[in-house]
Amino acid sequence: MRHGTQPLGAARDPFQIACMLPRIVLATLGMTLAPLVAQDRREVLSGWNASFAVPSGWRVLQVEGRAAALTDSLESGAVFVTAGYMTTAAEAQSELLAMFVDLHYSATATSAPKDTTIGTRPAMIATYSGAGRAGTIVTKAAVVFSNFGTGVMVIGLAKPDRFGRVSETVSQIAASIQVSLPATNVAAVSGLAGHWDYVPPAAAAHDSTAAGKVSIDEWLEFDGHERFTWHSRTIVSVRGAAPLTAENRDDAGTYTVVGTTLVLRGKRARAIDIHLEAGNLSLGGRAYRRKRG
């Protein structure tokens, strides 16, 4: 259950897109790295059946969920590759901007998103500039769409004086992308079956005033096949009166799991990295516990 003063999604989507890029994103822009060995190999994003070539002089620092992070020996910047369900430039841009929010990167487009082709595939490219934790950061994004309703996004971030090398790397990786049909994680789809209550952080508490208190609960339900619902309940307790309860079915639709990514198709499509273990579920870094009985 979730307790707080605002329902999940009051400021952002109920299932806000989790930060799919590793948290080292901007820390790599200025840190000293060990010398790297030139590589000429392919990295695979498990479950999504998407792969890309690692350019010479670059290495994969981390693979987390459906995203991979790369850097080079010249400390030029950081490049990220991530896969997801997206079929249009508008969907790709929406996901990209959500990532910027999670990265605390306030960016403005310096060239509007443009439909193009990379190789023989439809694609989108755009550039951005803005303030990050390491100062002014320039970004190039390229999204390559597949024939399977998926897209692979390549994002390069660098300081202005090193943007040229990173921009070239984004183009190289985007041109090397190979994609086939994603594989459904059947075990995870069935393993989600049941009722899951949100577990708030220890610091969370009811909102109390002299007049009374307000609490908000949240829970998820999966049927173990393809259907999900998300609920919230607001309870207002006023001194001297019976509590007032408002229960909502905030979203519902179908779901699947690809690799370790939960894909929800309700009011809109959303993708969230998950970790499922026994009666505990981490959904985009938020903790849920399976209801017993």
pLDDT digits over 108-124, tens only? 999 888 999 998 999 99
Among the three residues 179, 198, 233, which one is the final residue of a domain in this structure? 179
Residue 99 lies in a domain: yes
Confidence check: pLDDT of 57 > 80: yes
Among the three residues 132, 154, 179, which one is the final residue of a domain in this structure? 179
Query: In which domain, by residue range, is 174 found?
Result: 41-179
What local confidence, expressed as pLDDT, does residue 166 receive? 95
Residue 221 lies in a domain: yes
Domain with residue 259: its CATH number is: 2.40.128
pLDDT tens sequence across 126-182: 999 998 777 899 999 999 999 999 999 999 999 999 999 999 999 999 999 999 999
Q: What is the mean pLDDT of residues 72-76?
A: 84
What local confidence, expressed as pLDDT, does residue 241 receive? 63
Following DSSP, what letter does each residue of 72-139 receive, concatenated? ETT--EEEEEEEEE--SHHHHHHHHHHHHHHTT-EEEEEEEEEEEEETTEEEEEEEEEEEETTEEEEE
Residue 7 lies in a domain: no
Same domain, 196 and 174: no
Same domain, 133 and 52: yes
Residue 240 lies in a domain: yes
Residues in the chain: 293
What is the reported pTM?
0.75
pLDDT tens sequence across 80-107: 999 999 998 888 888 888 888 877 888 8
216 pLDDT band, cuts 50/70/90, is low
Domain count, the chain: 2
Structure tokens at 29: 């822009």
What local confidence, expressed as pLDDT, does residue 245 receive? 53
What local confidence, expressed as pLDDT, does residue 2 receive? 36
pLDDT tens sequence across 14-49: 233 233 343 434 444 443 333 334 445 899 998 999
Residue 256 lies in a domain: yes
pLDDT tens sequence across 226-275: 999 988 767 676 666 665 655 555 789 999 999 999 999 988 778 888 99
Same domain, 111 and 130: yes
205 pLDDT band, cuts 50/70/90, is very low
Residue 257 lies in a domain: yes
